[in-house]
């Protein structure tokens, strides 16, 4: 509790009253007294995460969590041991990220009892959409009604204020007008959309409310807490309003609270920004987030396979620090959002980023833009399924499958905890009809399915969905059997042919040489002396002679002298 008190004093100084401090402490003490769940205290090679919506599959007259739980237990439980449930609360827009009530489960999805039932089969990651709340929430209604404790809950700014220094992740207006009960119009800070109103963390009343949400998620069994858009939490006009010192202190406060209440809970920050800013949320390695999203990985893997060249991916991978066992990366290729371009800045020249964007757009990908401080716009993310991002329209399904499995073999071999999006393991293609219906680009990779349709596709062994599902599930299960893929095990990147991405992983008495042919041509690589066993195909190789790799072929070679 001492660390929590110190952080509260550092953030709020005299603005936090003794009564408010006592309220926070009593909430934490009570939550701690009710904790019964024992959490895993560290990660290992067994940990692979499934990212999915709670309403991903539908059956008539059935809460979608019942359907998801059944599908998971029958088809996915031997593949994944942790499920990231995207926001399952009542919401007004953005597929759940405009939360109306943090403490409730969307009735269409089910109830907290249904969350608990899924939790019996797997550990869970909850989304904590802590930067903003829906314009349809009770919190905003109370603010507009001028209720006392809500008077400073949101950030009101005169519209003539110079906000040109503020980092903008979108092209939508930063301020949105709202009419108060007394008919006064206030312009409130809305970083992402008019329906997502930023909370004012400078007000201790907001902090008390947010801590209440965090503690509720812990009591409901969350093993991982994902802090959505966390880089924007603290605002100071005249600054960039991103990654400010008090934002980092707030993340440290949440880490201290979960350490006190539910040891083993992982705080993971979602900051889709350049790498150096992203890893700043590790703090000193012990006091802030245990995991950060590895945002450069998806576009760099895509860039490498798109160009058949490992140079940028190889150089970046060689610079990574695996964390020394106290922190690690949350690795992914696809998610409910698009493929971010910002993390490439500082790694690739802008001309290469723009070239990649143009090439993908010509093959059907959609592009979302951000507004720069000089009034110009830049590509912010590519909206596309990872299957269609990797391939061209005219490619055969055999080629699609080869490239797709190659990309995921890289993901699964990389230091950190890997996560696979539900659309990826289902082999999904771009959902343009969904974009038309939803009116936004991200819907291209957020399709929801009647359960019968998915089951029928998976039962057709010749379909791309079934082939992806079978081969990727098998690859994940093999990955979970390799001690050298422990998230903390070091990686040694090799300097060989540019068409080849190669590295060693060593840990727990095992050494793996991971080889990936990124190109459409046959390449050979020098295989050092020794005996090798491919843990994917179970083939044996003898070193001392070049090894040939077919187009897009990959090996995880266990090395034995």
Percent of the chain with pLDDT over 90: 89
Least confident piece of the model among 288-297, 318-327, 399-408, 535-544: 318-327
Compute the average pLDDT of residues 132-150.
96
d(CA 34, CA 155): 35
Compute the average pLDDT of residues 541-557.
94
Per the CB < 8 A criterion, the answer to whether 197 and 135 are in contact is: yes
> Residue 374: is its pLDDT beyond 80?
no
pLDDT band at 170 (very low <50, low <70, confident <90, very high): confident
- 3-state DSSP helix/strand/coil percent for the chain, to nearest 5? 35, 20, 40
d(CA 421, CA 398): 21
Tens digit of each residue's pLDDT (9 = 90 or more) over 438-481: 998 999 999 999 999 999 999 999 999 999 999 999 999 999 99
Kind of pairing, strands 366-371 and 491-493?
unpaired
Across the chain, what does the average pLDDT equal?
Answer: 95
Supply 106's token pair: 């969307």
Compute the average pLDDT of residues 177-204.
97
d(CA 200, CA 485): 42
Find the helix or strand (DSSP H, E) in which 267 lies: strand 266-269
If one compares 327 and 561, the residue with the highest pLDDT of the two is 327
pLDDT band at 123 (very low <50, low <70, confident <90, very high): very high
d(CA 322, CA 200): 35
pLDDT band at 360 (very low <50, low <70, confident <90, very high): very high
CA within 13 Å, CB half, 496: 23
Compute the average pLDDT of residues 163-169.
92
For the purposes of burial, counting CB atoms within 10 Å of the CB of 276, is it exposed (0-12), middle (13-18) or buried (19 or more)? exposed
d(CA 336, CA 442): 7
Tens digit of each residue's pLDDT (9 = 90 or more) over 244-297: 999 999 999 999 999 999 999 999 999 988 888 999 999 999 999 999 999 999
> Residue 188: is its pLDDT beyond 90?
yes
> Residue 376: is its pLDDT beyond 80?
no
Q: Where are the domains of the chain?
A: 491-560
Instruction: Give the residues across from 128 on adjacent strands.
Output: 227
> Residue 561: is its pLDDT beyond 70?
no
Compute the average pLDDT of residues 163-189.
94
Per the CB < 8 A criterion, the answer to whether 266 and 128 are in contact is: no
Kind of pairing, strands 339-340 and 377-383?
antiparallel
For the purposes of burial, counting CB atoms within 10 Å of the CB of 327, is it exposed (0-12), middle (13-18) or buried (19 or more)? buried
Tens digit of each residue's pLDDT (9 = 90 or more) over 33-75: 998 888 999 999 999 999 999 999 999 999 999 999 999 999 9
For the purposes of burial, counting CB atoms within 10 Å of the CB of 160, is it exposed (0-12), middle (13-18) or buried (19 or more)? exposed
Q: Which sequence positions are flagged as catalytic?
A: 228
Tens digit of each residue's pLDDT (9 = 90 or more) over 72-89: 999 999 999 999 999 999
Tens digit of each residue's pLDDT (9 = 90 or more) over 305-339: 999 999 999 999 999 987 788 999 999 999 999 99
d(CA 300, CA 311): 10
CATH fold, domain 491-560, is Immunoglobulin-like (2.60.40)
Kind of pairing, strands 510-517 and 554-560?
antiparallel
Per the CB < 8 A criterion, the answer to whether 188 and 135 are in contact is: no
Compute the average pLDDT of residues 520-543.
93
């Amino acid at each position: 509790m001492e660390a929590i008190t110190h952080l509260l004093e550092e953030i709020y100084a005299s603005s936090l009253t003794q009564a408010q401090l006592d309220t926070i402490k009593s909430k934490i003490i009570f939550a701690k007294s009710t904790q019964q769940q024992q959490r895993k205290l560290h990660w290992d090679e067994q940990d692979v995460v499934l990212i999915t919506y709670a309403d991903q599959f539908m059956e008539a007259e059935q809460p979608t969590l019942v359907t998801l739980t059944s599908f998971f237990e029958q088809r996915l439980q031997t593949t994944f041991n942790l499920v990231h449930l995207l926001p399952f609360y009542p919401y007004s827009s953005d597929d759940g990220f405009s939360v109306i009530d943090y403490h409730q489960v969307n009735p269409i999805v089910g109830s907290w009892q249904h969350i608990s039932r899924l939790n019996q089969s797997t550990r869970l990651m909850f989304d904590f959409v802590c930067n903003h709340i829906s314009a349809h929430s009770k919190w905003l209604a109370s603010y507009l009604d001028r209720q006392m404790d809500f008077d400073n809950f949101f950030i009101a700014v005169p519209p003539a204020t110079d906000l040109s220094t503020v980092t903008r992740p979108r092209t939508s207006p930063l301020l949105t007008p709202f009419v108060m009960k007394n008919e006064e119009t206030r312009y409130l800070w809305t970083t992402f959309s008019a329906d997502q109103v930023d909370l004012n963390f400078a007000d201790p009343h907001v902090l008390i409310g947010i801590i209440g949400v965090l503690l509720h998620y812990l009591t409901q069994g969350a093993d991982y807490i994902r802090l959505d858009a966390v880089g924007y939490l603290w605002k100071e006009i005249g600054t960039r309003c991103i990654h400010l010192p008090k934002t980092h202190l707030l993340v440290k406060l949440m880490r201290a609270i979960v350490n006190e209440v539910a040891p083993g809970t992982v705080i993971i920050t979602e900051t889709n920004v350049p790498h150096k800013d992203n890893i700043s949320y590790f703090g000193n390695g012990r006091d802030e987030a245990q995991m950060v999203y590895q945002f450069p990985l998806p576009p760099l893997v895509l860039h490498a396979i798109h160009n058949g060249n490992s140079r940028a991916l190889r150089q970046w991978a060689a610079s990574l620090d695996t964390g020394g066992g106290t922190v690690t990366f949350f690795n992914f290729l696809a998610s409910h959002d698009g493929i971010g371009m910002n993390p490439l800045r500082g790694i690739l020249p802008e001309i290469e980023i723009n070239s990649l964007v143009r090439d993908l757009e010509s093959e059907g990908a959609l592009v979302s833009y951000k507004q720069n401080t000089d009034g110009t716009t830049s590509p912010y993310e590519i909206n596309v399924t990872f299957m269609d991002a990797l391939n061209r329209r005219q490619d055969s399904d055999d080629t699609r499958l080869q490239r797709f499995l190659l990309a995921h073999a890289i993901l699964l071999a990389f230091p950190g905890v890997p996560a696979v999006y539900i659309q990826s393991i289902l082999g999904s293609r771009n959902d343009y009809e969904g974009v038309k219906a939803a009116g936004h680009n991200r819907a291209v990779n957020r399709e929801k399915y009647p359960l019968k349709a998915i089951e029928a596709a998976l039962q057709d062994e010749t379909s791309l969905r079934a082939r992806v599902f079978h081969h990727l599930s098998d690859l994940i299960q093999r990955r979970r059997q390799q001690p050298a893929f422990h998230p903390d095990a070091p990686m040694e990147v090799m300097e060989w042919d540019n068409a080849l991405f190669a590295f060693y992983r060593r840990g727990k008495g095992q050494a793996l040489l991971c080889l990936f042919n990124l190109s459409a041509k046959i390449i050979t690589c020098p295989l050092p002396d020794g005996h090798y066993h491919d843990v994917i195909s179970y083939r044996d190789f003898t070193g001392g002679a070049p090894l040939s790799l077919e187009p897009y072929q990959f090996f995880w070679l266990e090395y034995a002298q």
